[in-house]
Structure 1
Amino acid sequence: MGRRGIFGRRAGARWLHLILGGALFMPFWLLSSVLWSPVVHSGGLFGSSISAQFTAYALGLPLAAVAGLAAPVRPLSVAAARGLCGLPDDSFAEGPARSRAARTRSAGWFFLHTGLGALISGATLALPPFAVAVILMPFFPGLRSAMRVPDYPVPVLALFPVAGAAMLVALAGCAAAAGYVLARAAPVLLGPTPADRLAVAERRATELAERNRLARELHDSVGHALSAVTLQAGAARRLLDRDPEFVREALADIEETARRTVGELDAVLGLLRDDGPSGDPNGPGGPTLADLDGLLSRGGVPVTAERSGDSGAVPVPVSREAYRIVQEGLSNVLRHAGPVPVSLTIAVHDEELEITMENPLPDRRPVVRPGGGRGLRGVTERAVLLGGVSEAGAREPEGVWRLYASLPLAAGRGERIGEGGR
């Protein structure tokens, strides 16, 4: 280990970390000294022999290890090690130790940190004054008399400063070596366990799913409104001089669409702000099939709707997703085929809700928008999250584009369903 490794900034920080470990060990050393002193009949805590003090040290180590099993020990140890050991942040686990394996590792770290720290702290307190005295002995005869050092010849006394400096260098080397041992052990003992990694992965998956859900809500509500408004505004511009009545109706539809979309946008932003109760499937979260008539009447395309079954029996989560699927289907028609007639069938069965939308294929292939294609992907995600299925594509023999989705009603009731749908 080079000079820079012994006296560098990192070595100094690790030395401070070891002294912190020694300070943490003091209560355990004092407790073991109190318990050990009556056995050896020593004269107090600080007047006992060196062997008694090392015995108290040995008895204090198991006490420190037991204390290290406490859950809050790991975050405190991680905070100190992260700032003083010079390791990247991803080397450490987050939060208290919950599992048995995590607590065992945390106890092992606390044992190692306090054990090495107590030794280095003791040496740091005792050795430098002694080394300085050794360095000064050749120059102060009274100091040699006080320390009962024989009158050595001058050549021998000349070696005393070298010996004192060697003691200080040895102390720095021992501290650097102990700090290096702690730095190597930290990722093993304070790093994430498999359970910690699984918890982090699950938390990230939950956050990603929430982000995707909000992105789908924004895409379906705002995207459909913009498509409808764009189509209506273009038609109104073309007929401004020839059909003022149509223009007034188009502007009224644009106003209503914008007003409704602002309400839906507020609902999505409310989810971002956590205004509503989280995890409530029946809480405010957007329109449902009960609001479908308004969507169809102002969707920008003529829709022939056919419904069967009791839509009121559809659970709210399923009803919300069904509304969004129909909304995205209308948006796709507007974007790719224009104001063509659409046939919509919504069938509520005992165990599932089926949605079928068909519209004539456009005369020419639609222009692919940069970054487009998220709508049908969102439909698939909505169906899969409920345990259902969806499919969309051209039916060349019939000359139509068909969107189909099947959503299990059990998903909205909180019941377990088989993977992949029915």
Structure 2
Amino acid sequence: MEMQGQSSNESKSSTETHASRMMDQGKKSSFRMVLDCDENGMPNLCKYYEIQSCYTMDPIPFSLQDEAEETEEAEETEFTKSDTEEMEMADKLFALGRKGWESAWGDDCGNFEDRTVLSPMHFTHCTPGLIPYAARTVSTLQIYSVKIVGTDGKLKLPLHVYGIVAARDAVDYNRNILFSRRRENCQKLTPEDPFLRLTDPSRAIVAVDHVDFEVQLKVKGSSRSRDRALMSHCFTYAGGYHEGLHTTFSSNSFCTVEFSYERLTETVQATILSARVVEGAPWPFEYGGRIMSSSPPQEVTDSLSRQVVLVDSHRSDDGGEMPMGSDGYIDLSRHVVSVELEESLQFVIQAYSQSGDAIARQGSVRFRTKYCNISRAICEIGDSKVEITVAWSQLAKHKRDIL
């Protein structure tokens, strides 16, 4: 793992002292320090602690109370002096990384908070056989889930989380948002659902070069002044050619954020334009449901480790109801997935039973991968039919290729 810091001896000493203290606290951290600055003393990369997949631990899930037990008088986390110092150091490191990004990319890429504006359908309407040179089939990262687990039970009940989780690739170095919640729309984590509700990336994450991840999460308190930092951290996926499911842990003394993802080679991006109930009675999602995609097609398992969950009424903010628009359209949480050229894209649609803990009906449909254009297919689920519409597009390796 690598971390960049200030070039002054004082800052370097302070940072190394803090790093040593963290390593001495146990086997929760394993990294080495590299202070890499340019000739002007400015950090030239946005890298801090990178925690590799070989990093192992035995995380303890947060012990959360039922909603019925939540009151305004709920106990809140009281940080020790050491805890406060650790969070302050994390904030300083994050701020240092921001300065490094602004120094390296600010002139060409805008503000640090700017989001990527490249469309996942940039090459969708190309003519087959006449696709521009800038359109590529490159390696991408498929993000499956981001999970929050506890480390030593410091966080008290209840746990309402808000903030940002984002990725930056070498296409434009801007934020590609994975999770974004404001304080007034925070997410409640429970033992049954410790996963952040991801909202895409807005386009495929290109993994030809390194990919930087940013985590800025807070826990909502009884008032804004009582809010507490949960994690402020950056880490880097440095690439490589390993295959299969990969897990990376980003950890501090309060929690561990667990990223589950996979590197796919020679991919196109599929944008799910719509999922619409076009025929059927009774309504198939009376008690809620779930829609997932996978490539290559995977059997649905309890862990759902290699399934991209596009929508799940059990994890929605609508009280367990399937989030719907007008004319039978289902409101999906995620829309963009990566698909390898040699594979197909499968959708599995499930309708929950009245008890809510079983699948009453299930159907699936597969799409053949395309370089461009739009595909439609019908998935039968019981007596109902759901139409899935997918837009296909190749990717841009760098934004300058399409300017």
TM-score (norm: length of structure 2):
0.21
TM-score (norm: length of structure 1):
0.21
Q: Which has the larger radius of gyration?
A: 1
Of Structure 1 and Structure 2, the greater helix share is in 1
